[in-house]
Every structure is written in structure tokens, then in C-alpha cells.
Amino acid sequence: MKKKDHLQIGKLLLAQKDTKLSGIQRLAFLFGCVEPDINPFTYARGSIKHEFLHGHHADNSSKHRHKLMHRLSNSGVHSLWQWFSLGTLIHYAVDSFTYPHNSVFGGSMAEHIQYEKQLHANFVEHLKELAARGEQKLRGIRDVDALHERYLKGAGTVQTDCRYIIDSSKLIWRHLLSGSHHHLSA
């Protein structure tokens, strides 16, 4: 996904009716949403145990997502660093629901780039549609890992990616900001 799209997800989450943050907290969160794409070191994440320089792929970033989710679940989201960390968690979760960032994608880097261009071209429209549809009932889904397993069974289209990107982001957001910080893994 492009930085603009990660920023749009962050803004969608900040627009939730119960979100009251200072300007600096909002900025910390939004910067966290895009920082992994700006920081070249994030592409090395998971390179030893998984694919080399595929730090934003679901398998490579899984350990980091789980660590962030655990830490934020235990501490809550209050400080600027925690808001920034929530933004980076959302970034990596969103990437894990993007087809080329998963092992089921067998294409080349050129195909990866082409898919992400197509995703970007359609993302704003899908975002408006999906945001307007209201809350979806995630039947039987208690954590992002289970949602990701369901996603992998139908991955491969921009529409599927957009739907799961929104659902996973809202699931994490609600969980970490609702005060019910138990049993949700990223």
C-alpha cells in the first residue's frame, strides 16, 4: 500500500465518534501509520527467520505485530509513544491484509508493484463505501490472526483486501481503545 492509503486508514480511525485526542496525539498516531514505509530499516524485519528484505510481509512482521499488540493491550494507549506504536501496529496489520504481502502471492516484484497501484487507484472509493456500511459483525472472529486465516482463503482481489483492511483496523482500534484488553492477538 502507498503511504497515502495508510494515512487514509489512520484518518478513518481517528474519525470514529468516540475518539478524543489532542493534536499531538493525532500526529503521533498518523506518523506511526506511515513511518514503516519511510524507515528503510523496517524492510529488514524478519529477514533471518523468513524472507530476506520482506519486512512488511505478513510472516516477517507477525512477531512484531504480536509484540506491539501485547504491549499496548497491557499498557493501554495514552502516551505519544503508545499512539505512535498503535499507528505502526495498524500499518503492519494493514500490510498483512494486502495480497502481495502474503505467501499466497506468487508474483514478481513488478506484479507486486502493479497490484499495489491498482489497490491505490481503487482504495479511496472502497474506503468510502466500506466506512459508510457501518460496523460489520465479525462472526466468530476474536482476533486478527483468525481474521487473517479467513482472509487468506479468499485473498487475491482489491475488493477483498479493502474489506479486510478496514475490518482488521477497526478490530484492533476497538479492542485497544475500548478498555477490554484481553485475548486479541495481531
Q: What is the distance between the terminal CA atoms of the chain, rounded to a whole angstrom?
A: 19
The domain segmentation of the chain, as residue ranges, is 3-178
Neighbouring residues of 119: CB distance < 8 A, sequence distance ≥ 6:
1, 5, 98, 158, 161, 162
pLDDT tens for 170-182 read 889 988 987 644 4
Q: Between residues 126 and 162, which one has the greater pLDDT?
A: 162
The answer, yes or no, to whether residue 153 has pLDDT greater than 70, is: yes
Highest mean pLDDT among 22-31, 101-110, 162-171: 22-31
pTM of the model: 0.83
The predicted pLDDT at position 31 comes to: 96
| DSSP letter, residue 106 | -
The answer, yes or no, to whether residue 135 has pLDDT greater than 50, is: yes
% residues pLDDT > 70 (the chain) = 76
The answer, yes or no, to whether residue 42 has pLDDT greater than 60, is: no
pLDDT tens for 57-104 read 567 777 878 899 999 999 999 999 999 999 999 998 999 999 988 888
